Structures are given as structure tokens and as C-alpha cells.
Chains A and B, each alone.
Chain A
Amino acid sequence: MRNPLADKVVDIKPSGIRKFFDIVSEMQDAISLGVGEPDFDTPWHIRDEGIYSLEKGRTFYTSNAGLKDLRQEICNTIRRKQGVSYDWQHEVLVTVGGSEAIDIGLRAMCNPGDEVLIPQPSYVSYEPCAILAGATPVIIDLKAENEFRLTAEELEAAITDKTKVLILPFPNNPTGAIMEKSDLEAIAKIIEEHDIFVMSDEIYSELTYKEKHVSIISLPGMKERTVYINGFSKAYAMTGWRLGYCCGPAAIIQQMTKIHQFAIMCAPTTSQYAAVEALKNGDPDIEEMRTAYNQRRRFLMNAFREMGLECFEPYGAFYVFPCIKEFGMTSEEFATRFLEEEKVAAVPGTAFGDSGEGYLRISYAYSLEKLKTAIGRLGHFVEKLRSEQNNK
């Protein structure tokens, strides 16, 4: 029989997280710091709208781009939070999570051989999506000394004649890094000079702990060359609803809608109705969750200081990214031993790119009680490793 598979797909290496997941799932009593989704339930009033829509029998397809009400609310929200206006009819597409927008956005924008710049450490799907889109991923290794922000120099150095799209993954998973207005202004200049496009994945935009999040679309000249991606998973604790959206220039959104129409048809109808409620009345929920995350973040940073573990202070998402280089082992070795000896699962930084080597992603989407237990074990483990080193 012939090989039924496409080389392009076979050649994509499976997510580094997957491998670790298999070890963890073998363990019965492990506790986890490895989750990339909120621990909160979706606020009840949002769930209630979803239930109500089912009761009313709203079980049909919506228009391809998404419910009119939802697209209008998305525009209202962006106008309210970023001061940027989009045309709901031509510049908005409701997708199945932010992930779909990443996939179809790259497919809509890239020709074979086009280069897509991907700052890493970052979310696991940019690189495979770029490859599947026929583009060439070009990795920019972000540095701890810059608090894992993308600098103008790093960007400039990575740009070639073939560069088409820059992925901008901030606030960042896994590092928790943010880009502030001045950071964005510095790279915006270069983006314009070299006439490249931006795919800004701002799924964690509501979860920042310094100033309010600033989007690159709010800078002059940037909205015209940016696909802005956001969604409901992180801000409203709606991961399982699978709902995201993107906004951008009509020409790009139109082509993305075409792919979406043929591949997906439309995002889940129930989720869309619930999402309208989330955008209309969900601000207090976001505030409450953000406050809780921030308390946990402070708790972790303090715990790291006390155990002498190096960690830059992250101001976004719900991750901290401590450095484990002092122990002289790889991230994977560290995470594996931590799991085996202390029964705590945390994700090795390398799951998010080679530049994550020497770091560990710790999620704080857990209650303070759970974090306390897990961090107690981390403290114990760190002590143990240090005494091992001293005895050598």
C-alpha cells in the first residue's frame, strides 16, 4: 500500500507538552502546575445565556462570520478598551478559539517561501501552523535579560526580503511577559519600514498586572497591517466553549472567512450567544479573576524570592517562568525529576521553543491552597538539589 500520509504533516514534531503529558497521566497522585486554562468556572450569567439559547431552540448555524450581535459587541469592546474602531460587517470574524484564527490567518496571508517571524518561548501552535500554511517559520529567541520582550534590534535582525508576517504573542504564554506601549512603538517603526504584517495574539489581554494592556492596533498605522486575535477562553474562563475572534483589514478577513466557511462553517452557536453576554456584562467577572490571579502571582514571586530561585517579574497571563539553570540540568530533566520525586507536574520551558531551555513554566491558575502545597514541594526539591550539588 502507498504511504497515506503527507510528508509536511508527518515532519511536524509533536508538541513537547504531549510527551510530558503522557508521563503525568501515568501518575496517580501527582498535583499539577501545568495547566494552561483558568481554574474558575465560566461565570454563571454567561453559562445561563448559553442554556437559555438552547432552551429557545437557537441550535442552527449562524452566519459564517458569526452572529451580528456578537460581532457588534466585539467592535464595541475593542473600541472601549483600545480606542480602535472596526467595521463589524467586513473586519470581524468569529472563530473556534483563538487557535483557529492563528491557523487560517497564516493560511490566508502566506505564500510558499514567505517567512513568518515567531518570537519564542511562545505558544506551541504558531510554528506548526506556519508550516502547514506553506510558510517558513523563523524563530526569534527572546531573552531573559529583556524580560522576554521583543526588542527592535531582535526584530530587525530577523527580517529578510521574504519576511511576511510577525507573530506578536503578548501577554505571553509561557513567560508571562508583556509588551508595553513604548516597547510596541519601538517595533512598530520597523514593521512599517519593512512593510511586514502582524498577527497579534492577545488572548491574555485582560490579564495584566501593571498598566492596562495596550494593543499594537492602537498605534498609528498598525491597525491597517495587523490581524488582531482575541477570544473568550482566558478572560471569561470559557476554554471549553471554543470561541475566539479576529479583526483586521477587510481584505485579509474576507479571505480568512472564506477558509473558515469551507473548513468550519461557523463557530458554535451556543457559545456565540453566551459570548454576547460575556462582552456586555462580564467586566466585573474579569476584574474579580484578575484580582485573584494577581494575589497568586505575588504569592509565587515571594516564594521564589524566599527560596532564592531566579525569576523575572512577569506582568501578564497566569504564568511565571523561573530560571532553573543553577541546577545544571535541562528543563526536561528538572521537570521529570520534580514530577517523579515530588509528584508535581510543571511544564519544561523547552516545550515552548529552544529558548525556553533552563526555565520552567508554572501556571497559577490554581487556588492559593493548591499553590501553597505545590510550592512547598518545589522548595523542598530545590533544597535537595542544592545539597546534592554541594556534596559533589
Chain B
Amino acid sequence: MREELLAIIEKNSRIDLKELAVILGVEEIDVVNELAALEAEGIICGYHTLINWEKTDIEKVSALIEVRVTPQRGQGFDSIAERIYKYPEVRSVYLMSGAYDLMVILEGKTLREVSNFVSDKLSTLDSVLSTATHFILKKYKDHGTAFATKKEDEREMITP
């Protein structure tokens, strides 16, 4: 049940417990227990909402920053990653294979705010060797969901 449960709530965390139990074919109490276990094990880390901010009046700027760093003895990349992800404006931090080490996704109110963060905070960290900032112009799809308006059901109403 675990895998199927996760697949469902990854797409829709608002589904109610009773319905979740019905479509999984288990008892509601089992769902409650499994969710509690998943939370306790740190597998479920949050129940977020996917928002297309471009459709609101709220201005937001996102940037994807490639960061090259010097790993630290005994700690590898973890401690530098932690120093970076503790900033609240940092949305995501990934350790990457390839040409750079960390990918940082940043969200700010304005272009300047993002630039300032990179020049004042990120670049000045001791272990950071270099950064390359890419501003995100448009999000087409995020978390597996396309932002384009949903298409109508084009099937015939009745077919054998």
C-alpha cells in the first residue's frame, strides 16, 4: 500500500482519509497509521501546494544557480550545502554530478534581491569557488504538473 499511497498523495495531498482508504481498498485506520509512520520516518516531509504564481499579481523572481565549491574535510559537501539551504530565500539545493557541485534554486521578490543574495551572501562564502546564475523566465511544468490550461474531454459522450 505504501507505494500507491505515496503516488496518490504526491499528486493530491488534500484527498480525505476516508476516500483514500476506499480507493486503496484498506481500512481508514490503516491509512492513518501508515501516514503517521511515513511522517515519522521522514519520508513525507510536507504537504505543499503547487502554485502558478505567474497568474497572480504577486511578483516573484526565480533563479537557478550553479555553484562550484570546495568540499570540506570530513564533511564533504554537506556542511556547505547546509550553510546555503539555511537561507529562507533558497527553495532547493541539490548536489549534482558534472560541471558544478550544487544547484541552488532561489526565489526573490525582485531581480535585485536575487542578485544581491548571490553577490553578498552566496559568493562570499569561503568554500564557494564560483557561481553562475540563470533566471527562470517561465515555468511550463513543475512537480509533474503542466501549467497550461487543462483541455476539455474531447471524447464522444457515448461509445460502445
Contacts and interface: CB of A to CB of B under 8 A. Distances in A.
Interface of A: 15, 17, 20-21, 24-25, 30, 32, 34-37, 39, 123-125, 173, 291, 295-296, 298-299, 302, 345, 347, 351-352, 368
Contacts of A34: 157-159
Contacts of B7: 291
A314 to B, nearest CB: 14
Given A39-B153, A302-B22, A368-B23, A295 B8 contact: yes
Contact of B22 (A20, A125, A299): A299
Contacts of B153: 39
20 contacts: A15-B160, A17-B160, A21-B156, A21-B157, A21-B158, A32-B157, A34-B157, A34-B159, A35-B156, A39-B155, A124-B160, A295-B24, A298-B22, A298-B23, A298-B24, A299-B19, A302-B22, A345-B157, A347-B158, A347-B160
Interface in B12-67: 19, 22-25
B120 interface: no
Contact of A24 (B22, B23, B25, B158): B158
B4 interface: yes
A35 B8 CA distance: 24
Contacts of B155: 35, 37, 39
A252 to B, nearest CB: 26
A15 B160 CA distance: 9
B8 A36 contact: no
Given A24-B157, A25-B157, A345-B158, 8 more contacts: A17-B160, A21-B157, A35-B159, A36-B160, A39-B155, A295-B8, A298-B23, A351-B160
Contacts of A24: 157-158
B85 to A, nearest CB: 32
A139 to B, nearest CB: 17
A283 to B, nearest CB: 16
A295 B158 contact: no
A40 to B, nearest CB: 11
A67 B8 CA distance: 39
A299 B18 CA distance: 11
Nearest to A24: B157
B23 A296 contact: yes
Interface residues of B, number: 15
A34 B157 CA distance: 6
Contacts of B25: 298
A35 to B, nearest CB: 5
A15 B24 CA distance: 37
Contacts of A351: 160
Contacts of A39: 153, 155
A55 B123 CA distance: 47
A125 B158 CA distance: 16
Contacts of B22: 298-299, 302
B157 A299 contact: no
A157 B160 CA distance: 29
Contact of A17 (B23, B24, B158): B158
Contacts of A124: 160
A28 to B, nearest CB: 11
Nearest to B155: A35
A35 B155 CA distance: 8
Nearest to A306: B22
B153 to A, nearest CB: 7
Contacts of A15: 160
> Which 6 residue pairs of A and B lie closest in terms of their CB atoms, listed nearest first?
A295-B23, A34-B158, A21-B158, A36-B159, A302-B22, A32-B157
Nearest to A372: B19
Contacts of A21: 156-158
A17 B158 CA distance: 7
A380 to B, nearest CB: 19
A34 B155 CA distance: 10
Nearest to B26: A298
